[in-house]
Chains A and B, each alone.
Chain A
């Protein structure tokens, strides 16, 4: 007969709770990023349909990531979410530091409050996804339930 002490129970349950909380927080970040992209989507689409399509795809992907994080992410979800957000942040940084490619050169875009907020959220999301990936795979799996 195996006797499970209270301390043992907490030790087993704790990573699950932490992972679950982290996954929910990451889902919140992804959802917030989606909402910001959706907020600016109509204006961006009307102004520049190509840029609008990019915002649409980002919003869709962040929405899908948020839901998957809520329902217990698999490792491939975390990997995909990580790649997605690294790419989004890299594109943002590139267009602000180097610029949008235009003919033979680049046009730097200004930094605005909303895009800065979205980028901050995405950087936090990247950190959360990395932390989730580093956790015990079984804990991540248990976090689904």
Chain B
């Protein structure tokens, strides 16, 4: 068959336009997908690095009612893996950020300054905070030096209260003693920004807690547990579609159900070790991982008695201590526990293990019982004053929310709807009690801003072993849970969402407005 010049030209153009160009555009993402599954961190010998403790931030000034802090969010390098330099984004350039110690009833104002190349939002997780300081996902602090607009590259205008360079967050702290944490909450990009290091502790104390004979000072140890993957040269690896975090949000499809790292960090150090004495220690556990839950246990377990005595939850002290041999902690949850190292002889190494982990993620850190120490602490039978469970008969509304994870790139949803900042899913009235029935498939840590709640039931039965006390995050592995909350504090618009940060970024979030 003879091909004319015109026919040849047509065939050539057809080849370019309908085959070569489209297939050429596929090569990049296919490589990205193949690469994403293959990244593993440089090997690190566990239990070599001493456990660091995040420094406590000092206020820049105080007055009769308020402590004022300033924090700069900036890029920095840190030696996370021994011998490697890692670029992080940190509050004050450190990961985890500095700890704020606040007093119940005494106001804190934090001026956040954004020196990062992207917009940021800071949310005080567990805080009973007025809406303008709660860190609503679109209340962005834009970087002073960039051309970012409110759409922050996504093409979607989300509204929100925008500031440039700085914002003052006001935290009234009209709440019980508890360990909260602050972290980035930027619309569509919370996952990568927290992963790069934007998280820190915020501890509220009060007289009730002060009066208890609990372990304190060096025997009160915050443990911020995270998982990360590092590239061969020691940088953090996060499978963003746009690593600049200025364009398309989201992660490559194989990570849509969460970014799980292969290196466990505690307070920013890989599988660290802490020398302890033969005494009780108060461990204040936070799971700040993007998606990984941990089933924590001690190995070897103490010869007599349980591994952990739980004295507090997300919302502060329990009324009475609860013994556990293991603790299931999902992203964003906190557990306040006592471990009695006096039960081990000097010279024992006790590993904090993750019974759901495999290979390197099965270990978290190690405690070396290194010295004899006098015991001064006690675990009283009564911790916090009795606070009766909110009465379900007082609930003015029962609402039902279904959390369904996206699959094959389908978005993650609440009641089969993706997040719309302009849509309100619930309007509870101020100072009323509501029951929310949460359904989850397959696995979601569900977090409500503003309020603390109690778990009433799971799958129609009693609450689970780790549901005690006031909570702001409830972990669900399928099934349903009923929670009861009193919507007190402030009127305004807040969010509730899945705290698997990849689900959250892929729209598993809704608004409620207290009216």
Contact = CB atoms under 8 A, between A and B. Distances in A.
Contact of B416 (A42, A67, A105): A105
Contacts of B6: 71
B417 A107 contact: yes
A92 interface: no
B13 A70 contact: yes
A3 interface: no
Contacts of B376: none
Nearest to B506: A47
B66 interface: no
B155 A46 contact: no
A41 B242 CA distance: 13
A95 to B, nearest CB: 11
* Interface size grouping (class) on chain A: 35 or more
A86 interface: no
Q: For chain B, what secondary structure do more than half of its interface residues adopt (helix, strand, loop), or is it mixed?
A: mixed
Interface in A38-83: 38, 41-52, 56, 59-61, 63-64, 66-68, 70-71
Interface string A94-134: 00000110110111111011100000000000000000000
Contacts of B417: 107-108
Interface stretch (B29-37, B50-58, B93-101, B127-135): B29-37
Nearest to B30: A45
Given A48-B253, A70-B13, A107 B410 contact: yes
B213 to A, nearest CB: 53
A100 B19 CA distance: 28
A110 B30 contact: no
Interface in B144-181: 155-156
A48 B256 CA distance: 9
A102 B26 contact: no
B413 A102 contact: yes
If over half of A's interface residues share one DSSP class (helix, strand or loop), that class is named, otherwise mixed; here it is helix
Contact of B253 (A46, A68, A113): A46
Given A56-B22, A103-B404, A66 B17 contact: yes
B249 to A, nearest CB: 9
B21 A63 contact: yes
Contacts of A42: 25-26, 28-29, 32
B388 to A, nearest CB: 39
A71 B250 contact: no
Contact of A47 (B18, B253, B418): B253
B156 A112 contact: yes
A70 B16 CA distance: 14
Nearest to A112: B155
B241 interface: yes
Contact of A67 (B14, B406, B420): B14
24 contacts: A38-B21, A38-B25, A41-B26, A42-B29, A46-B252, A47-B250, A47-B251, A47-B256, A47-B409, A48-B410, A49-B33, A49-B253, A56-B22, A59-B18, A60-B22, A63-B17, A63-B21, A67-B10, A67-B13, A68-B14, A103-B416, A105-B416, A109-B418, A112-B156
Given A45-B30, A64-B18, A102-B413, 20 more contacts: A34-B21, A41-B29, A42-B29, A43-B29, A43-B248, A43-B250, A46-B29, A46-B253, A47-B241, A48-B253, A59-B18, A63-B18, A67-B13, A100-B411, A102-B406, A102-B416, A105-B416, A107-B416, A109-B418, A112-B155
For the complex of A and B, the 9 pairs showing the least CB-CB separation, nearest first, are A48-B409, A63-B17, A63-B18, A64-B18, A45-B29, A46-B29, A42-B29, A105-B416, A46-B252
